[in-house]
Structure 1
């Protein structure tokens, strides 16, 4: 993943996740990057400035402070007491954007789905430090999450979570997470455990003190804490694991420990460890020195990638008697989840309605006049529900490969007894495609489908009133495609996804449908003949058939990938394994009663034997 995709990575995490249950990249001595004092190699810990760190995905900042009584300003220092060195960075000054709080405030303004954990430590001691730092925080109170326990991500989005690492003369309610020196320094062991927190800060590389070399000792401390993080149950404690160290007696400065030589630095070792432990799990905060060093660019995405995805619940939707489902399409209309599917026996279109997304009526409604080979799509336009399909009739019928549509008659409510208008023909849409998609954009109803000339071109027609359609025209920028086409709206643009002739996923997006930006879904996941798309929590989700190792590489797995910008995509994750389906796959975000948004993926599961029935499975993202 690039730094671009890391800029908004928290937006993809379930908002109900507590920050102590996350894997979060951070930096140690985050402000020590612009060092002019001598010897700078013992003071400098970063090469990226604060803005660059945040844009690279860093979400924990370790800020060391001191009050300059002459200048009457709070400054950033590195080194305690007389060794404290000014880092040419100020903590706060009203109206200045180049301070720590100015940089963080601007970042959170531009990325409101993110949060920053900030540890504030008194590095240069003074009698009036406490009163001055409290005054600054109080005067910038809209920036801070100051409660005394760690919040969920949803509670903290847009805020700086205050972690207090300075002593105070008296207790003040709601002034951050208490990690004051009296707790920190009293705690024994490696890592230290105190106040519901576990902290590895083996800054002088003692390790387990068994005669190890300095770097081996420091790595022992890091790896031991990583293993403890894996073993602790979620919700148990906040974990903070510093990769930083120095060793004066061995002439090893911060960069020697972080980067080292021959890949023996802590950044390389941690990156290799993460590559060897696949999966999604909580690691806590991992605080880095010299983040982004050459050869370790994958470290931040590896940490972020460990954050657990929401659980999915698999359910069976009993098929109505006498109907064998094949193609499936879902749509939300008038507060109900409407599921359309094709009867494989007759080609008729069946529809079922659920008011809550979990209970389904025992019977299904037949749309008598609709016959289809495969393609189904529905959309609401000007208050009316439209159903589109590729027509199926006798081989001699001249309308066999055309697209037809019907509209729902009674629009005030939707029930199994609702009626549909007689089918209407779209003369301009001649297709051999098993896939078509629709979208409403700029008050027009648009249809995209394959050409009937076997070129794989994607054609487009649109209507301003839902009844008259101009001749369809090819979109030269899109395609060629062999089968699947799906569409969605994302950030005010129309997005089209299709399976290319290279069997990979491609996309094109446009705001005016004349000028298209196209590309491949990164990671190049191979897919079968079906895919679904939906937008949820500011992300595009793509669901698709993929080869499964359980079936010797056959396309019996449903996987998904997601993106916050449509350019960089997450590594594909398995949703369902060992399910046989050819064309029955669709996805939707449905709002349940109470305003809870849930993602659904519907799959037509085909039997392993010819005498067994098809049935519909659906997977719901219940934790969203």
Structure 2
């Protein structure tokens, strides 16, 4: 009975949601309104990645599975959505993978396959960076499967997640910035000039958080499931009423980013979801609650920050992407 009542409540709420929750604007669901394929090329070589304001996406490849799973506009399977984001100016991505047969990775959001494989991701990154060698892309890569209800289960009899990752790196020499993919030695935050044309691995996360070995940047040794010293990821938003709490968390972390260690990258997830707050509600707004995306654009227009850090967004609009880039 409780489950039935919950389903009825969710269904009723979905019927009541104002059209504006799905309506595109400059902050929300208008990715193609931005075109910034070479914005980093104009930034000096000596600038640290920590000093940059970087537009990013949460669950970058998640375009299938319905309202509670989709987090990005659908610009095509097999990595087409990633290419669209890169052309718009996205330079920080969040990719989640399942261990598949043949010691390969398939891209998932929970139990839902996103009709893309890790080869698709790397092909798209290599093609983009080959055409735009002044750019770099910061990658958060996560082992998605816990085997629990609602998650995925890995194929059996395969190599470990780090070993499979190493095989992908070895097959594509020159694509990754080498210091970030050496499991025995974490890297310091590089300058942009040192990583142009390369993918920088920020962290290699396990399915429940935590970092595999010393992959990625040394500052993210404490990157767990949720928030940590340099990461705001308050992802649980139980109902639409708590969207305000998520807005506050994003705003507070913007302040932390600007008062914090200038040699460190700060990663601010604007995303969230819950039983009565699917991702598109949190991003775009619903039931008279302002969404995080329009709120964030308003804050960036009204305030004067030295940097925004990496902002990891659901359904970003072109105006929001452009505004983040303008801080550079």
The verdict on how the C-alpha distance between 1:170 and 1:88 changes in structure 2, with shifts beyond 3 A counting, is: closer
- Does the alignment pair 1:150 with 2:189? yes
The structure with the larger Rg is 1
Deviation of the 1:253 alpha carbon: 0.4
| Distance verdict in 2 for CA 1:219–1:121, change over 3 Å | same
Cα pair distance change 1:146/1:179, threshold 3 Å: farther
Alignment of 1:303 onto 2:327: no
Q: Contact 1:146–1:176 (CA<8 Å) still a contact in 2?
A: no
Residue by residue over 1:261-296, the C-alpha shift from the partner in whole angstroms, topping out at 9 and shown as x without a partner, is: 467111100000001014x6111100110122xxxx
Task: Output aligned runs, 1:271-420, within 5 Å.
Answer: 271-278=297-304, 281-292=306-317, 297-307=318-328
Structure 1 residues 22 and 137, CA gap change in structure 2 (3 angstroms): same
**CA distance change for structure 1 residues 179 and 146 in 2, over 3 Å: closer, same or farther?**
farther
Inter-partner Cα distance in structure 2 for 1:201 and 1:101: 25
- 1:381-418: CA deviations, max 9, x gaps? xxxxxxxxxxxxxxxxxxxxxxxxxxxxxxxxxxxxxx
Q: CA deviation at 1:106?
A: 0.4
Decide which of 74, 85, 89 is 2:105's aligned counterpart.
Answer: 74
Structure 1 residues 103 and 141, CA, compared in 2 at 3 Å: closer, same or farther?
same
For the 8 Å contact 1:164–1:179, the answer to whether it is kept is no
Cα distance between partner residues in 1 of 2:254 and 2:212: 35
Separation of aligned partners in 2, 1:277 and 1:58: 22
- Normalized per residue, which structure has more strand? 1
Of 124, 149, 152, which aligns to 1:103? 124
Partners of 1:90 and 1:202 lie apart in 2 by 28
Q: Does 1:214 align with 2:227?
A: no
Q: CA deviation at 1:150?
A: 1.6
Partner residue of 1:223 out of 251, 257, 260: 251
Number of aligned residues:
269
What's 2:41 paired with? 11
Greater relative CO, 1 or 2 (CA 8 Å, sep 6+): 2
SS in 2 for 1:31: coil
1:489-568 aligned at under 5 Å gives the runs: none
Structure 2 counterpart of 1:166? 205
Q: For residues 478-511 of structure 1, give each alpha carbon's deviation from its aligned partner in whole angstroms, at most 9, with x where no partner exists.
A: xxxxxxxxxxxxxxxxxxxxxxxxxxxxxxxxxx
1:192 aligns with 2:211: no
Question: Structure 1 pair 243/232, CA: closer, same or farther in 2 (3 Å)?
Answer: same
Return the alpha-carbon distance in structure 2 between the equivalents of residues 263 and 12 of structure 1.
Answer: 38
Give the whole-Å Cα distance in 1 for the aligned partners of 2:55 and 2:176: 20
Question: SS at 1:86's partner residue?
Answer: strand
Shift in Å, 1:41: 1.1
Contact 1:163-1:179 at 8 Å conserved across structures:
no
1:221 to 1:21, Cα distance in 2 relative to 1, 3 A:
same
Q: 1:202 to 1:10 in 2, by over 3 A?
A: same
In structure 2, relative to structure 1, the CA distance for the partners of 1:212 and 1:64 (3 Å cut) is closer
Q: Sort the Cα spacing of 1:32 and 1:170 in 2 relative to 1 into closer, same or farther, 3 A.
A: closer
**Contact 1:146/1:177 (8 A) holds in 2:** no
Structure 1 ranges of 4+ moved more than 4 A: 167-172
* More helix as a share of residues: 2
Aligned residues of 1:29 and 1:78 also touching (Cα < 8 A):
yes
How far is the alpha carbon of 1:177 from its aligned partner? 2.0
TM-score (norm 2): 0.75
1:356-402 alpha-carbon deviations (Å, 9 max, x no partner): xxxxxxxxxxxxxxxxxxxxxxxxxxxxxxxxxxxxxxxxxxxxxxx
Q: Which residue of 2 aligns with 1:120?
A: 141
- Structure 2 counterpart of 1:246: 273
Unaligned runs of 5+ in 1: 93-98, 308-624
- The CA deviation at 1:301 is 1.1
Residue 151 of structure 1 aligns to a residue in which SS?
coil
Partner of 2:5: none
Contact 2:231/2:268 (CA < 8 Å) preserved in 1? yes
Give the Cα–Cα distance (whole angstroms) in 2 for the partners of residues 233 and 284 of structure 1: 11
Return closer, same or farther for 1:105/1:302 CA change in 2, 3 Å cut-off: same
Output the aligned Cα RMSD.
Answer: 2.6
The CA deviation at 1:298 is: 1.2
